Structure 1
Amino acid sequence: MAVLDFTSALYLGLRHQGPSLRPWPGLTTGKPAALEPAPGSAAIAGRFAVLVGCERATPLTSTLHLFWDLFGLLARDRVRIYMDEGTYAIARWGVERAALHGVPVREFQHRDATRLRALIEQDRGTKRRPIIVADGFCPSCGGPAPVTEFLQCVAPHNGYVVLDDTQALGVLGRQGGGSLRWQGVKSPDVIVGSSLAKGFGSPMAMLAGSASLIRCFEEQSATRVHCSPPSLAALHAAEHALVINSAVGGRLRRHLAQLVHRFHAGLHAIGLGVDGGLFPVQTLRPAGIAADILYQRLLRLGIRTVLMRRCRELGTCVAFLITALHGFSDIDRAVEAIGRAMALDHSTQQLTGRAS
């Protein structure tokens, strides 16, 4: 039997085969975006901004380029960064660049707006603008960033909230617009950076925010001068993803939610818990078995999963990444395999008990 794969983050199942995309004359124009934006990129960015609920957006090659450049720009101002301890690595690397430029950085407990507010008040005398950095949604614990509360923390100090919204894009909120749409937030003080490589299946990124901030970024961006812009193929894939999302995105998200519900019900029936809420990244909570052992047992049973670290914990867990390409039979097969893998452990415990 073929191995059933639960390791892909293409949540909506968008893969963009070549014939499905609008043709392009070449992968690149050979020109930096600062000199001449790629044909059609402004229109695609405009549609993206509307989708996520921001005034303006600009395309970049990756979130690595995006956050490296963004925090280099923010570091020119008199700011202090407050970073959620659960922030994903790529945004962290951008924060580290700001720290190298002398920007003070403090971490706060995962999604803890109360503790964050206390830290900002402690630093009030420094006269530095607070910049809060967090993931819009944490797939490990299945929880959102409290964006409204974060905004209340920075509002008296003319600060910003920077969100890495890669996970939520395409999955959460009105039309899959992500965290701001999901939480009903609209503010010029939020800066959103998202990779389109997961929910929308295009290997590029978008930075979105107020029109004035995005204009400032485009005028002063180093990566728009010294690095290649997104390829025309990636831009056309993003364009295709926006079209599909508008046409059938709702149906894909409903199917995805049904798959997750079925996964929960199947695990509940065999006495197991799972973290992740209704998000398509589901982490198991089995008792009495190490994650690496469970991972290997599932692989031998034809189920490929991901070993990942839970937020706020040192240990690893077994995660299932469910996509719209999976079917109900795939979910049933996965649950059956989990039950068999756990039964092996139960059988070993019984034999050990008899021997003693």
Structure 2
Amino acid sequence: MMDFTSSLYLAMKHPGTTLQHWKQLTTGIPAVLGEPALNKQVAEQIARLQGLECGLTAPSTLHLYWDLYHVLSRQPVIVFIDEHIYPVSRYGVEQLLVKKIPVFYFRHQDDEHLQQLIQRHCKGAKKPVVLCDGWCPICGQAAPVEHYAALLNNMDGHLFIDDTQAFGILGAGASTLFPYGMGGGGILRWKQLPAGHTRCITTIVSLAKAWGVPMAVIGSTRNHIRQLEQASAIRTYSSPVSNAHIQAAVSALHWNQTTGNQLRARLWNNVKLFRHRMAWADLNVNNSCFPVQHLHHPSPGITTAIYHQLKQWDIKTVLSATHTGIHPRLTLLFRSDHTREQIWHIAQELTRICRQLTNVKGILSPEL
């Protein structure tokens, strides 16, 4: 069985025998009454890896978004949300609607449309707040967060970025030879945002993708994190992140520092090899360096046939939707522990299947 469905991009698995032991799994008290020092240290290190001052851990991004909307519902703000933001990032938005906080959706990754909406609706004392994803795995592109930040800095607004996809993969110093960059600090490092631009930015990151740890961290300025911590409702009723998850995060920090760049290089080599083999076979793939690669045919039946044929040969892939949701695509998620033989094999099988089907040319359309 070959698996191209897992988003453990760097293949960090954290078996229990490799982690530090803990005396008890959880504290049994809500986070507001006490949180282990190690939790705070992990949050600080992850925030600084992104170029931010301070961080706070949570069991999941769902916890953080529920708290975020709770806090925003008590402030004089107008909220602008990317129309295709990750679904979990919307959970809790009804708290704004109940309090009659205005909410507007702007076109996906369209900074000009966002600016138009802000200029149209933010004419009083209310401040603009923007929510978006740092990287969209569906269209394979980064959001223009540098433009969002420049706009909001001039208006005393705030930008909340879900950087779950990019964190651990993208970093500073990206180039055509190595588009991921170094360090794995996420979209802010990859975009090389200066410190002055990040003053209005808060990131929400799940460590469950590249780092393989199902927990989350919110990072921002020290003052902003303090305000969120004091206003939190979730921390009043939920335990801190468990010791098991924190020890896995410590392990991930260690591996990222010692071998992270090698893992990212191996991952890019796998993606690059796959793309080269697809180009050799005259099968186009989406124009993205990210380890989520899409194939799409105008005929849904052909895409579905490719998926089922691979499944019969014990090759696991994903049938996914575009933003429009009109036709399915065949999606493959690559990891650093995929072997060259596996990449050659999946490319060979895709080529063979496609040659058996009609309309082979244009098996993938880059338009999403």
The structure 2 residue matched to 1:215, chosen from 226, 231, 254, is: 226
The residue number in structure 2 matching 1:182 is 190
Aligned residues: 346
The residue number in structure 1 matching 2:291 is 280
Secondary structure of 1:296's match?
helix
**Larger CA deviation: 120-129 vs 24-33:** 120-129
Contact 2:300–2:328 (CA under 8 A) maintained in structure 1: no
For normalisation by structure 2, the TM-score amounts to 0.90
The structure 2 residue matched to 1:192, chosen from 172, 180, 203, is: 203
The residue number in structure 2 matching 1:236 is 247
The residue number in structure 1 matching 2:21 is 23
For normalisation by structure 1, the TM-score amounts to 0.93
The residue number in structure 1 matching 2:310 is 298
Q: Return the alpha-carbon distance in structure 2 between the equivalents of residues 241 and 344 of structure 1.
A: 44
Secondary structure of 1:273's match?
coil
The residue number in structure 2 matching 1:352 is none
Which letter does structure 1 place at the counterpart of 2:188?
L
Q: Return the alpha-carbon distance in structure 2 between the equivalents of residues 36 and 79 of structure 1.
A: 31
Q: What stretches of structure 2 of length at least 5 have no aligned partner?
A: 173-182, 361-368
Partner deviation per Cα, 1:21-72 (whole Å, 9 max, x = no partner):
1111121011211111124111111111110111100000000001110121
Change beyond 3 A, Cα 1:334–1:14: same
Is it true that 1:265 corresponds to 2:276 in the alignment?
Answer: yes
Q: What stretches of structure 1 of length at least 5 have no aligned partner?
A: 349-356
The residue number in structure 1 matching 2:177 is none
The structure 1 residue matched to 2:267, chosen from 256, 276, 298, is: 256
Instruction: List structure 1 runs of 4+ shifted beyond 6 angstroms.
Output: none
Q: Return the alpha-carbon distance in structure 1 between the equivalents of residues 141 and 220 of structure 2.
A: 23
Change beyond 3 A, Cα 1:322–1:272: same
Q: Return the alpha-carbon distance in structure 1 between the equivalents of residues 271 and 79 of structure 2.
A: 36
Secondary structure of 1:125's match?
coil
How far the C-alpha of 1:208 sits from its partner, in A, is 0.4
The residue number in structure 1 matching 2:178 is none
The residue number in structure 2 matching 1:117 is 115
Q: Give identity over the alignment, percent.
A: 35
Q: Return the alpha-carbon distance in structure 1 between the equivalents of residues 228 and 352 of structure 2.
A: 53
User: What is the aligned-residue RMSD (CA, Å)?
Assistant: 1.6
**Larger CA deviation: 291-300 vs 131-140:** 291-300
Change beyond 3 A, Cα 1:301–1:346: farther
Matching of residues 315-326 of structure 1 within 5 Å: 315-326=327-338
Is it true that 1:226 corresponds to 2:237 in the alignment?
Answer: yes
**Larger CA deviation: 303-312 vs 249-258:** 303-312
Which letter does structure 1 place at the counterpart of 2:52?
C
The residue number in structure 2 matching 1:80 is 78
Is it true that 1:140 corresponds to 2:138 in the alignment?
Answer: yes
Q: Return the alpha-carbon distance in structure 2 between the equivalents of residues 289 and 66 of structure 1.
A: 37
Q: Return the alpha-carbon distance in structure 2 between the equivalents of residues 127 and 17 of structure 1.
A: 52
Q: Return the alpha-carbon distance in structure 1 between the equivalents of residues 326 and 135 of structure 2.
A: 20
